[in-house]
Structure 1
């Protein structure tokens, strides 16, 4: 396991143990809804299903199809805010 992988695992564990991971997920959900991301993704899903036909699309296919666009549509301000919150949490709880 690389140093980066170990560091990510440690950070994730600390966030999970202290309940911060769930709190950050709730903040992220709210921010994505506020900025219209959720509605854009819903519309994109409907578009993909309409193109391919409901009978020819599985949930896994849909996830593979929409993930790149979903990541690209997350506003930079949301990404920066989340990163700022994670850094703040880590600074407060550094051991």
Structure 2
């Protein structure tokens, strides 16, 4: 599949997710699962460590986000990723996309 066609397909899927409200339901499910897994607390502790290490006066929000993002992605449990992927696949099948 060429990049243009892939981009169009992604846009179509995203539009359907938004129109049906499924995108917001998936976001809420993700928030809930991350809280249950302790992801938020672990990330908060990591953020505090970074600020303590660098010094509150010498770190910007952008710096903190840059440092936290890879860790945040890595900490998402595989079970949560699988659950969301299954929900998205099911949605797309139901929408015949």
Deviations 1:11-62 (A, max 9, x none): 1111011111011000000000001111110001101111111111111111
Q: Equivalent of 1:32, from 13, 31, 34?
A: 34
For residue 45 of structure 2, what is the aligned residue in structure 1?
A: 43
For residue 4 of structure 1, what is the aligned residue in structure 2?
A: 6
Question: In the TM superposition, what is the alpha-carbon distance from 1:2 to its structure 2 partner?
Answer: 2.5
Unaligned runs of 5+ in 1: none
Superposition RMSD in Å: 1.2
Q: Distance in 2 between matches of 1:3 and 1:63?
A: 32
TM-score, normalised with respect to structure 2: 0.91
- Matching of residues 4-83 of structure 1 within 5 Å: 4-83=6-85
TM-score, normalised with respect to structure 1: 0.93
Q: Distance in 2 between matches of 1:49 and 1:71?
A: 19
Runs of 4 or more above 4 Å deviation:
none
Unaligned runs of 5+ in 2: none
Question: In the TM superposition, what is the alpha-carbon distance from 1:9 to its structure 2 partner?
Answer: 1.5
